[in-house]
Amino acid sequence: MKYDFVNPPSRKGSDCYKYDYVKGDLPMWVADMDFQTAPEIREALIKRVEHGIFGYSIVPEAWNAAYVSFYKDLFNWEINPKDLVFALGVVPILSSSVRALTKAGDNVVIMPPVYNIFYNSIINNKRNPLEVPLVEKEGRYYLDFGAIESAFSRPETSLCIFCNPGNPSARIWSKEEINVLASLARKHNVIVLSDEIHGPITRPGTPYVPFLNAKEDNKDVAFAAISPTKAFNLAGIHTAAMVCPNKEIREKVERQLNTDEVAEPNAFSCVAAISAFNEGREWLKQCNELLFSNRDYAFKFIKENLPSLRAYEGDATYLLWVDCSNVDKEEKRLLTYLEEKCGLVFNGGSHYGKGGEGHFRINLACPRAKLEEGLKRLKQGLEDYAL
Ligand SMILES: Cc1ncc(COP(=O)(O)O)c(C=O)c1O
């Protein structure tokens, strides 16, 4: 079956954050896709709706089994089903973990530019985000291990939230990089929470490396948050899992997830996850083919037609990170202009922390025709902006 990534229904007027919250008519910002999820998942959800009774739900064993089989088959990662804990989202896992594993005033290390909500999860809980910026070399980001080690060695540092693969850097971290990070965490008694929500969205043939699978003993110092919501466009369903082989950490975070009332599924959370992981694989494969051909198209277009911009290469996520510092050092004026004059909506880089200013993020998860239109408008917009 060839799935339809060409003519999705319009999201406008569906109380859609991406389309109905902004003025621009060509939104390419918030991280969800313009495509319908896989028909197999829609059918499973329709069946659940037709049952018609929406009382409280439990997490069935089939939920654990679906995660175990998907990650084993796609990433050769053997998850022990007992290590999985349901949560309503990855962000709830981040925030509950911050509360469970650190105390007010502690440092939580992050490596910007990085998913902006990491900051919220830390600052809203009165912890301190200790930024160790990624280092850029020739359009690719790297971890700064020297600076990470000094951040880890500070007595008030207890947790590191790592984005694997990187949003917005689109970077797949190698086994070696992950293992150096884990060894520094072990040396300095820091726990690493690896946010792997973007894990299944990678260039065909280039799988990401799950943190806990990079080396057997990483599981002593790390745990992960995973979910089908990015890869299968299910963010509004609210479903995720913590994978935590370390019993002491797992129990603490699970307790906190319960206290925070984010540990119980809604009527659709498990149905969606189970059908995505079991029946959505072919859809995901075809979707990744489209997403990475969009990425290559946009990268080439920018390189050849927009000399004032510089796009970063990447093998993960449907998010393209673009340096616009030659046009606007802070990016805000340029993005306001592009929205008001061209209808284009991108995410401003300053939201992603140190090193993000003078950049923006383009969401590539749309039909090719929309991407082409967006890039055409961007070219025209930049020409007019320069006048
Ligand atoms: C790195 C990362 N983590 C978490 C999330 C959101 O997770 P959830 O919707 O499950 O809370 C996003 C959404 O863009 C993300 O990019």
Query: Is the Cβ–Cβ distance between 345 and 28 less than 8 Å?
Result: yes
**C-alpha 91 – ligand 1 centre gap (Å):** 6
**C-alpha 325 – ligand 1 centre gap (Å):** 26
Band the pLDDT of 280: cuts 50, 70, 90. Answer: very high
Q: What is the pLDDT of residues 107-117, one digit of tens each?
A: 999 999 999 99
The reply to whether ligand 1 has any atom less than 6 angstroms from the CB of 240 is yes
Asked if the model's pLDDT at residue 334 lies above 90, the reply is: yes
The two structure tokens encoding residue 334: 């340029």
**C-alpha 161 – ligand 1 centre gap (Å):** 13
Give me the pLDDT at residue 277, please: 98
Q: How many Cα atoms are found within 13 Å in the side-chain-facing hemisphere of 76?
A: 5
Band the pLDDT of 7: cuts 50, 70, 90. Answer: very high
Does the domain at residues 17-37+281-386 carry the CATH identifier 3.20.20.140? no
Asked if the model's pLDDT at residue 202 lies above 80, the reply is: yes
Cross-strand bridge partners of residue 110: 131
Other C-beta atoms closer than 10 Å to the C-beta of 216 total 8
Other C-beta atoms closer than 10 Å to the C-beta of 248 total 8
**Fold of domain 42-279:** Aspartate Aminotransferase; domain 2 (3.40.640)
Cα(40)–Cα(279) distance, integer angstroms: 6
The reply to whether ligand 1 has any atom less than 6 angstroms from the CB of 89 is yes
User: Residue ranges of the domains in the chain?
Assistant: 17-37+281-386, 42-279
Mutate to test the pocket of ligand 1, among 86, 91, 116, 172 (most ligand atoms within 8 A of CB): 91
Query: Is the Cβ–Cβ distance between 149 and 184 less than 8 Å?
Result: yes
Reduced to 3 states, what is the DSSP secondary structure of residue 355?
Answer: coil
Asked if the model's pLDDT at residue 1 lies above 80, the reply is: no
Asked if the model's pLDDT at residue 74 lies above 80, the reply is: yes
The reply to whether ligand 1 has any atom less than 6 angstroms from the CB of 229 is yes
- CA of 227, closest atom in ligand 1: 10
Q: What is the pLDDT of residues 12-49, one digit of tens each?
A: 999 999 999 999 999 999 999 999 999 999 999 999 99
Q: How far is CA 271 from the centre of its chain?
A: 21
Q: What is the pLDDT of residues 76-95, one digit of tens each?
A: 999 999 999 999 999 999 99
For residues 237-249, average pLDDT? 98
Q: How far is CA 94 from the centre of its chain?
A: 12
Give me the pLDDT at residue 386, please: 84
Give me the pLDDT at residue 228, please: 98
**C-alpha 240 – ligand 1 centre gap (Å):** 10
The reply to whether ligand 1 has any atom less than 6 angstroms from the CB of 79 is no
The reply to whether ligand 1 has any atom less than 6 angstroms from the CB of 197 is yes
Question: Nearest to residue 293, comparing CAs of 366, 347, 198?
Answer: 366
The reply to whether ligand 1 has any atom less than 6 angstroms from the CB of 90 is yes
Q: What percentage of the chain carries pLDDT values higher than 70?
A: 100
Mutate to test the pocket of ligand 1, among 33, 95, 117 (most ligand atoms within 8 A of CB): 117
Give me the pLDDT at residue 345, please: 98
Whether the bond into 9 is cis, omega within 30 of 0: no
Whether the bond into 168 is cis, omega within 30 of 0: yes
For residues 267-283, average pLDDT? 98
Query: Is the Cβ–Cβ distance between 26 and 375 less than 8 Å?
Result: no
- CA of 114, closest atom in ligand 1: 1
Question: Nearest to residue 210, comparing CAs of 281, 85, 220, 222?
Answer: 222
**C-alpha 90 – ligand 1 centre gap (Å):** 6
Query: Is the Cβ–Cβ distance between 280 and 228 less than 8 Å?
Result: yes
Other C-beta atoms closer than 10 Å to the C-beta of 104 total 9
**C-alpha 193 – ligand 1 centre gap (Å):** 13
- CA of 239, closest atom in ligand 1: 10
Cα(169)–Cα(323) distance, integer angstroms: 11
User: Where would I find the H helices in the chain?
Assistant: 17-20, 39-51, 61-75, 90-101, 117-123, 145-152, 175-187, 211-214, 247-259, 269-279, 281-305, 332-342, 368-386
For residues 252-269, average pLDDT? 98
Q: What is the pLDDT of residues 183-197, one digit of tens each?
A: 999 999 999 999 999
The two structure tokens encoding residue 106: 């502690």
Q: What percentage of the chain carries pLDDT values higher than 90?
A: 98
For residues 317-345, average pLDDT? 96
The reply to whether ligand 1 has any atom less than 6 angstroms from the CB of 115 is yes
Give me the pLDDT at residue 378, please: 98
Which residue, judged by its Cα, is nearest atom 14 of ligand 1?
31
The reply to whether ligand 1 has any atom less than 6 angstroms from the CB of 364 is no
The reply to whether ligand 1 has any atom less than 6 angstroms from the CB of 195 is yes
**C-alpha 29 – ligand 1 centre gap (Å):** 14
Which residue, judged by its Cα, is nearest atom 7 of ligand 1?
90
The reply to whether ligand 1 has any atom less than 6 angstroms from the CB of 33 is no
The reply to whether ligand 1 has any atom less than 6 angstroms from the CB of 95 is no
If you compute the radius of gyration of the chain from its CA atoms, what whole number of angstroms results? 20
Asked if the model's pLDDT at residue 387 lies above 90, the reply is: no
Band the pLDDT of 135: cuts 50, 70, 90. Answer: very high
The reply to whether ligand 1 has any atom less than 6 angstroms from the CB of 288 is no
Question: Nearest to residue 93, comparing CAs of 213, 258, 279?
Answer: 258
The reply to whether ligand 1 has any atom less than 6 angstroms from the CB of 226 is no
**C-alpha 84 – ligand 1 centre gap (Å):** 18
Task: Write the secondary structure of 112-131 as one string of H (helix), E (strand) and C (coil).
Answer: CCCCCHHHHHHHCCCCEEEE
Q: How far is residue 383 from each of residues 305, 306, 377, measured CA to CA in Å?
A: 11, 9, 10
